[in-house]
């Protein structure tokens, strides 16, 4: 039975704090919550379930958004219509990045930000992320474009940073000559 997650709003203090490293083994509660995040994010990207459960579409969640200051992120990435890849990273770190910078042309959104915020968020076009899976095994992924943006966005949450804090107040929008917009 699906139960909607209680995602905190940007005004909550813990969303502006740095999360703690996780030790293994993971607790049963953490593993259960990871599963619930995957379900929530998957359903939020399938129109009939989005409507049925009144969900805002999202592809990523970080544990601080659920009020838990642990370095755990979950990304559910739609690779084809109705086909998803799940990324669960514990203690993720960006170990390398491209020089090229991109931005989501439509801007970024966040399940913890319940308002429209205009502006482009500069992000690396490609990142390599290392961390651990749920069983404590070291994992690594090389992400590009929108998946790279999602990893950077979620890792920012672990450091108490919300996406709109990265928008240049004096230069909210970029042209394709300045940054490649995707």
User: Read out DSSP for 22-33?
Assistant: P-SSPPHHHHHH
Residue numbers of the domain that contains 36: 19-181
Q: How many domains does the chain have?
A: 1
> Is pLDDT at 66 greater than 90 in this prediction?
yes
**Structure confidence at residue 130 (pLDDT):** 98
Say how far apart CA 48 and CA 130 lie, in whole Å. Answer: 34
Q: How confident is the model at residue 106 (pLDDT cuts 50, 70, 90)?
A: very high
Catalytic residues: 154
> Is pLDDT at 1 greater than 90 in this prediction?
no
Residue 6 lies in a domain: no
Residue 4 lies in a domain: no
**Structure confidence at residue 173 (pLDDT):** 97
For 155, the enclosing helix (H) or strand (E) is: helix 145-158
Global pTM exceeds 0.85: yes
The mean pLDDT of 71-89, rounded to a whole number, is 97
3-state SS assignment for residue 123: strand
b (16+ CB within 10 A) / e for 103-119: bbeebbbbbbeeeebeb
Residue 53 lies in a domain: yes
pLDDT tens string 11-41: 999 999 999 999 999 999 999 999 999 999 9
């Amino acid at each position: 039975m699906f139960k909607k997650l209680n995602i905190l709003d940007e005004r909550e203090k813990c969303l502006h704090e740095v999360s703690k490293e996780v030790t293994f083994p993971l607790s049963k509660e953490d593993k259960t919550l990871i599963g619930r995040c995957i379900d929530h994010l998957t359903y939020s990207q399938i129109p009939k379930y989005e409507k049925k459960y009144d969900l805002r579409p999202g592809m990523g969640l970080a544990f601080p958004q659920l009020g838990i200051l642990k370095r755990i992120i979950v990304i559910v990435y739609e690779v084809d219509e109705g086909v998803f890849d799940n990324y669960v990273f514990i203690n993720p770190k960006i170990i390398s990045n491209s020089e090229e910078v991109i931005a989501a042309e439509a801007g970024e959104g966040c399940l913890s930000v319940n308002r429209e915020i205009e502006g482009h968020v500069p992000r690396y076009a490609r990142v390599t992320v290392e961390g651990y899976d749920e069983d404590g095994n070291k994992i690594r992924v090389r992400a590009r474009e929108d998946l790279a943006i999602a990893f950077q966005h979620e890792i920012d949450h672990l450091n108490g940073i919300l996406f709109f804090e990265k928008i240049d107040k004096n230069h909210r929008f970029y042209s394709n000559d300045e940054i490649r917009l995707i």
